[in-house]
Structure 1
C-alpha cells in the first residue's frame, strides 16, 4: 500500500484478520462463503481489502469464525468506516483530514514504536515546544488550537490500559534548540519524566553511533492486541501521510527497529545524556 487514508487502513486491518482466521480454520473461501450465504467473489474482495462490507456481513463472518466480545465490537467499529471522532470533534478544521486516521489508530494501538530523527515525538512534546514547532511551519492558521489538539494526544497515556510506547530519539533532535534554550531544556526534562513511566521507554541514539537503518526516514510502527498479526507503519510529510502495512514491508521496519534499539543508549544512559544537554542549555 502506498498512500492511503484512515478508512483504507482500517479496511486492511479487517481484511488481514479475515484471511488469518480462515487460514487458521483451514477453510476454502467457497466453504466460508456458502456458510454465511455470501458470494465467493465478494469474500475474495473483502479479504483483499478491495471492497467495503456492511456491518451485518462483517458480524456474520466474524461470528462464524468464533470471534466475539471486545474483539468483535472493535472489528465492527472498523468496518463502519467512520470512527468516533472523540476529542477530535472539538478541533474540526484544525486537525488535517489525513491525520485523523492516524489519531484513530493511535487510540486503539496497544504498542507503538517510533524513530524520531529531527523532532521530539508529538505525543511527548510540551506545549511550548509544540507551539514553536508549529509556528515555524508553512501555516499558522488556528495555531493555538492546533497546539491544544497535539496536547490532547498525550491523553492516550492516561487511559485505564495505556499503550506501550518505545521511542528511539536521535541526539540531533535533542540538540536542535526549538523555541529557546529554556523551552528546549523544559522539553528535555519532560522526556526524562516520561521515560520513568512504566509503559514508556525512551532511548537516545547518539551521533557517535554513525550510520544506521532509516537515517532519513522517521517512522512510527503500531501494533494492536485485538489484531496481533497486523502492523502498520505511519509516516507523514508536509501535506499528507503514508501508511505501509504489507507484512514484508512491516518486517523491514521491525528489523530496523531492532538495530536501532541495539545501537541506542540504555534507558539510564539516555536520561543522563538528556540531563547533560539540558544543563548545557542553561550555560
Structure 2
C-alpha cells in the first residue's frame, strides 16, 4: 500500500493534476483520494486502472503499477529477479529516517563507487543492462547526501573487503571512499573481522525505519528479493542487527581496519 500510494501520488503530480482535479475526474471525494495516496485505504483494481488512464500511464509502466495492486494482500512481498535499484527500494530509502544495512559478501549499493559497481553488476548482466543498473545505483546514493539524510549504519564482513572486485586499484578506491563516507555525521560503518570468529549470518538485508509508519526489512538473495513488514519479522532483524554490531568493530576501529585493508590491496 505504501509503495502504491507513493507511486500514484508521483504519477498524479507528473500529470499536472491537483488532488481536487484528479478526484473530480475519478468521480471520487478528495478525502477518498487523499486516503489512497496516504496508504490509509486499499484502492480497487478498477480505481487504479482509472487513475492510470487519467494520468496517461500506459505500456510497461502501467503493467508495473497494476502488478503492485495484485500484491496488496500479501504479508511477505517476495519477487523473482532481484534488483535493488528498481523503484520500490529507492522509494523506501528516500522516506526512511534510519537504515541499517548488512552486507556479508559485497559493499552495499549505497556505498559503492562507480568502478566497484561496474565490476559487481557486470557479473551475469549484459553491458546495456549493467550500465542502467549502475546509473540507478548511483542515483540511489543521493539519499545519504541530503540536508536531512537518514541515519545510516553499514555492517560489512571482512570478506566483502578482501575480494578484489574490479582489481586492486578499484578496491583501494572503494575502501578509501568508505573511509571518507564514515566521516559524515549520519553514517556509521562497522566491520566484522575474520579474527572475531563465527557469527549468525542472516544474509544481506536492509532494515528501514520511518517517522510515522512501521519499519520494513528488505532482503535479497540470488534472483529473489522482497520486503517483510510483519512485527515478528522486523523485530527479528532488529535482534540480528544488535548481534551483528556486537560481533563487529566499533566505528573508529573499523576505519583503522579499512585503512589497513586499503594498504593490503595496494600491495596486492
Instruction: State TM-score, norm by structure 1.
Output: 0.67
Q: 2:118 aligns with which of 119, 131, 149?
A: 131
Cα distance, 1:99 vs structure 2: 2.9
Aligned to 1:268: 252
Cα distance, 1:137 vs structure 2: 2.6
Cα distance, 1:97 vs structure 2: 9.3
Cα pair distance change 1:58/1:259, threshold 3 Å: farther
Instruction: Answer whether contact 1:115 1:220 (CA < 8 A) is retained.
Output: yes
Aligned equivalents of 1:99 and 1:54: distance in 2?
Answer: 32
Q: Please list every run of 5 or more consecutive structure 1 residues that lacks an aligned counterpart in the other structure.
A: 11-52, 62-72, 83-88
Cα distance, 1:6 vs structure 2: 4.3
Aligned to 2:105: 118
Aligned to 1:226: 212
Q: 1:244 aligns with which of 228, 232, 235?
A: 228
Q: Deviations over 1:217-253 (max 9, x none)?
A: 11110010122xx111101234341211110111111
Secondary structure at the residue paired with 1:272? Answer: helix
Cα distance, 1:179 vs structure 2: 0.4
The total of aligned residue pairs comes to 216
Query: Are 2:146 and 1:159 aligned?
Result: yes
Cα pair distance change 1:237/1:271, threshold 3 Å: same
Instruction: Answer whether contact 2:5 2:38 (CA < 8 A) is retained.
Output: no
Instruction: Answer whether contact 1:209 1:263 (CA < 8 A) is retained.
Output: yes
Q: 1:100 aligns with which of 75, 87, 109?
A: 87
Consecutive aligned runs of 4 or more in structure 1 exceeding 4 Å deviation: 58-61, 73-82, 95-98
Cα distance, 1:8 vs structure 2: 9.4
Q: Deviations over 1:164-198 (max 9, x none)?
A: 00111101101111001000011000000001100
Cα distance, 1:160 vs structure 2: 2.3
Q: Please list every run of 5 or more consecutive structure 2 residues that lacks an aligned counterpart in the other structure.
A: 8-27, 52-60, 65-81
Cα distance, 1:136 vs structure 2: 1.5
Cα distance, 1:212 vs structure 2: 1.7
